[in-house]
Structure 1
Amino acid sequence: MLKHWGQVTAVLAAIGGGVLLATTPAQAKAGYTITKVQSIRRTAYHVKNDKKTLFTWDKTHTKRLRILNQMDSADQTMSWMADQKVTMTHNGKSATYLHIGDEYNSDDGYVYAKLMVKGYSKGYQTDAAYFGYYRLDAATKVGVSPSGSVTIPKGTVVQTAYSASNGHESLIINGDALSYQLRQKLGLTGTQRLKAVDLNAVKVTPVAQPAYNTVKHNSFADTHASNLFAGTPNAGTQKQLFRTTSDGYVEYYDNGATQTQSEAVPQGKPASQKILQSSTSHGVTTVAYRTHIKGLKDTPTTVAGKAGYQLTIAPQTKTTTVKDKIYDTYLIGGQPFFTYETDTSLPVTAKKVSAKTLASLNKATKAPTYYRTTKKVTVSAPFDAYVSGTLNSKITLPKGTIVAGTLTTQRTKKQTSRVLQLDTSRLSANLLKPGYQRGLWGSQEPATTKNTAAFTRVKRPAYLPRYGSAGDLYLGSTTKALMAGGIAKQSVQLTTNGYVEVRQNDVTGRSTEYRAQPKTSVKIQRTTIKGHTRYLYLAKKLSGFKTTQVKLHGKTQYRLALVNPQKTYAVDFDPEGDEDSSLSYFGFLQLGGKTFYTGYSLGD
Structure 2
Amino acid sequence: MKKQLLAGLIGLAALLIGGTSQTTAHADATVNIGGTTVSRSYLNIDTYYRATRAVKAHVTYYRAKDGKRQYTKAIKLPKGTIVAGWIVPKHQLAHGKWGNELTFGQGNLNEKLLNAGAKKGYVAGGTVSYALKHLKKVKRPVYMPAYSSGDLYLGGAKATLQGDNQKKRVFRITTNGYVELIARNAKVQTDAAFAGKPLHQAKIKKTRVKGATRYLYLSSKMTGTGIKTTRVGKKGAYQYRLALKNLHQPQDLSYYDDDRGEVYVFDSLYTVGGVTYYTPICFGSEIED
TM-score, reference length from structure 1: 0.39
Distance 1:506 1:550 in 2: 34
Distance 1:437 1:503 in 2: 20
Partner of 2:205: 525
Please tell me whether the aligned partners of residues 115 and 124 of structure 2 are also in contact (alpha carbons under 8 angstroms): no
Partner of 1:385: 63
Partner of 1:490: 169
1:474-504 deviations in Å (ceiling 9; x for gaps): 11112x3112112422211111101111112
1:476 equivalent to 2:155? Answer yes
Distance 1:382 1:398 in 2: 19
Give the unaligned 5+ runs of structure 2: 7-21, 25-31
Residue identity opposite 2:222 in structure 1 = L
Distance 2:81 2:106 in 1: 11
Distance 2:82 2:188 in 1: 30
Equivalent of 1:376 in 33, 54, 65: 54
Please tell me whether the aligned partners of residues 151 and 170 of structure 2 are also in contact (alpha carbons under 8 angstroms): yes
Distance 1:473 1:525 in 2: 20
Q: How many Å apart are 1:420 and its aligned residue? A: 1.7
Partner of 2:19: none
CA RMSD of the aligned region, Å? 2.9
Distance 1:6 1:489 in 2: 24
1:584 equivalent to 2:262? Answer no
1:451 equivalent to 2:126? Answer no
Q: How does 1:174-213 map to 2 (within 5 A)?
A: none
1:230-286 deviations in Å (ceiling 9; x for gaps): xxxxxxxxxxxxxxxxxxxxxxxxxxxxxxxxxxxxxxxxxxxxxxxxxxxxxxxxx
Distance 2:215 2:98 in 1: 44
Please tell me whether the aligned partners of residues 428 and 499 of structure 1 are also in contact (alpha carbons under 8 angstroms): yes
Q: How does 1:272-351 map to 2 (within 5 A)?
A: none
Cα distance change on mapping 1:595 and 1:576 into 2, 3 Å: farther
Cα distance change on mapping 1:405 and 1:506 into 2, 3 Å: closer
Partner of 2:14: none
Q: How many Å apart are 1:436 and its aligned residue? A: 4.0
1:516 equivalent to 2:191? Answer no
Please tell me whether the aligned partners of residues 404 and 423 of structure 1 are also in contact (alpha carbons under 8 angstroms): yes
Q: How many Å apart are 1:408 and its aligned residue? A: 2.6
Please tell me whether the aligned partners of residues 546 and 560 of structure 1 are also in contact (alpha carbons under 8 angstroms): yes
Distance 2:264 2:113 in 1: 34
Q: Quick one: higher RCO (CA 8 Å, sep 6+), 1 or 2?
A: 2
Residue identity opposite 1:591 in structure 2 = V
Distance 1:506 1:6 in 2: 25
Cα distance change on mapping 1:435 and 1:383 into 2, 3 Å: farther
Q: How many Å apart are 1:424 and its aligned residue? A: 6.7
- How many aligned positions are there? 253
Q: Percent sequence identity over matched residues?
A: 31
Distance 2:70 2:252 in 1: 33
Cα distance change on mapping 1:424 and 1:471 into 2, 3 Å: closer
Q: How many Å apart are 1:592 and its aligned residue? A: 0.7
Partner of 2:12: none
Distance 1:422 1:379 in 2: 10
Q: How does 1:176-255 map to 2 (within 5 A)?
A: none
Partner of 1:131: none
Distance 1:406 1:533 in 2: 28
Q: How many Å apart are 1:509 and its aligned residue? A: 4.7
1:423 equivalent to 2:105? Answer yes
Partner of 2:77: 397
Cα distance change on mapping 1:371 and 1:601 into 2, 3 Å: farther
Residue identity opposite 1:484 in structure 2 = Q
Distance 1:591 1:390 in 2: 35
Please tell me whether the aligned partners of residues 474 and 491 of structure 1 are also in contact (alpha carbons under 8 angstroms): yes
1:506 equivalent to 2:188? Answer no
1:358 equivalent to 2:28? Answer no
TM-score, reference length from structure 2: 0.77
Distance 2:211 2:161 in 1: 29
Residue identity opposite 2:33 in structure 1 = L
Distance 1:598 1:384 in 2: 26
Equivalent of 1:466 in 119, 143, 146: 146
1:402-448 deviations in Å (ceiling 9; x for gaps): 011212313239885332222374211221133545331121x342x
Cα distance change on mapping 1:534 and 1:505 into 2, 3 Å: same
Distance 1:436 1:377 in 2: 19
Q: How many Å apart are 1:542 and its aligned residue? A: 0.8
Q: How many Å apart are 1:568 and its aligned residue? A: 0.8
1:178-218 deviations in Å (ceiling 9; x for gaps): xxxxxxxxxxxxxxxxxxxxxxxxxxxxxxxxxxxxxxxxx
Partner SS, residue 269 of structure 2? strand
Q: How many Å apart are 1:465 and its aligned residue? A: 0.9
Give the unaligned 5+ runs of structure 1: 8-353
1:434 equivalent to 2:112? Answer no
Distance 2:219 2:54 in 1: 25
Distance 1:6 1:593 in 2: 32
Cα distance change on mapping 1:362 and 1:399 into 2, 3 Å: farther
Please tell me whether the aligned partners of residues 547 and 558 of structure 1 are also in contact (alpha carbons under 8 angstroms): yes
Q: How many Å apart are 1:376 and its aligned residue? A: 0.8
Q: How many Å apart are 1:593 and its aligned residue? A: 0.4
Residue identity opposite 1:558 in structure 2 = Y
Q: How many Å apart are 1:521 and its aligned residue? A: 1.5
Distance 1:403 1:571 in 2: 29
Please tell me whether the aligned partners of residues 56 and 131 of structure 2 are also in contact (alpha carbons under 8 angstroms): no
Partner of 2:274: 593
Partner of 2:238: 556
Cα distance change on mapping 1:430 and 1:415 into 2, 3 Å: closer
1:286-326 deviations in Å (ceiling 9; x for gaps): xxxxxxxxxxxxxxxxxxxxxxxxxxxxxxxxxxxxxxxxx
Distance 2:202 2:187 in 1: 27
Partner of 1:4: 3
Partner SS, residue 551 of structure 1? coil
Residue identity opposite 2:172 in structure 1 = Q
Please tell me whether the aligned partners of residues 101 and 131 of structure 2 are also in contact (alpha carbons under 8 angstroms): yes
